[in-house]
Amino acid sequence: MPRHYINSAQGRASRRHRRRLRSSSSFLHHEASDIVEDENRSLAQLVQQLRERIRTLEEELERRQEQIVEGVENNWRREVQYERLLRERNRLRTRVEDLEERLQEVRINNNNNNNNNNDNNYNDNNNNGNNNCRDIIHGFLNFFR
């Protein structure tokens, strides 16, 4: 139902007021739209920054995984080398023990031969004993060549 104004001045004032309300409404609408656009830009920028951070973290993760794999491989190689060195050390210890036993047997044999022979044969047996010891030592040294 149309409004009835007492005079035309009231009608004009009312129309002006409605126009102002419409223009201020339009202004508020544009302001709200600008605020939403600014917020959307900020959120889009934040999403882009987060994606870049994710990409950086994935690269770092990949690099660290490669370092871990390299470290494990190096540890495995060192362990294999260590076990090989232990076996070699044990083999050499056994060889040295065998040579020491053989040397001890030769010395005992030489002492027994020296005690059983007379003084004329002493020098000959002593030289033979020295030759046996020398042979053992040369065999030991040749082992390491």
Q: For 38-76, how does the pLDDT look when each residue is reduced to its tens digit (9 = 90+)?
A: 899 999 999 999 999 999 999 999 999 999 999 999 999
pTM of the model: 0.44
Q: What is the mean pLDDT of residues 103-112?
A: 89
As a whole number, the mean pLDDT across the chain is 79
Positive or negative, the CA dihedral 110, 115, 116, 119 is: positive
Q: What is the mean pLDDT of residues 85-106?
A: 95
Q: For 17-30, how does the pLDDT look when each residue is reduced to its tens digit (9 = 90+)?
A: 565 655 566 666 67
Q: How far apart are CA 76 and CA 78, in angstroms?
A: 5
Q: For 111-133, how does the pLDDT look when each residue is reduced to its tens digit (9 = 90+)?
A: 888 777 654 444 454 555 556 66
What is the 3 state secondary structure string of 96-132? Answer: HHHHHHHHHHHHHHHHHHHHHCCHHHHHHHHHHHHHH
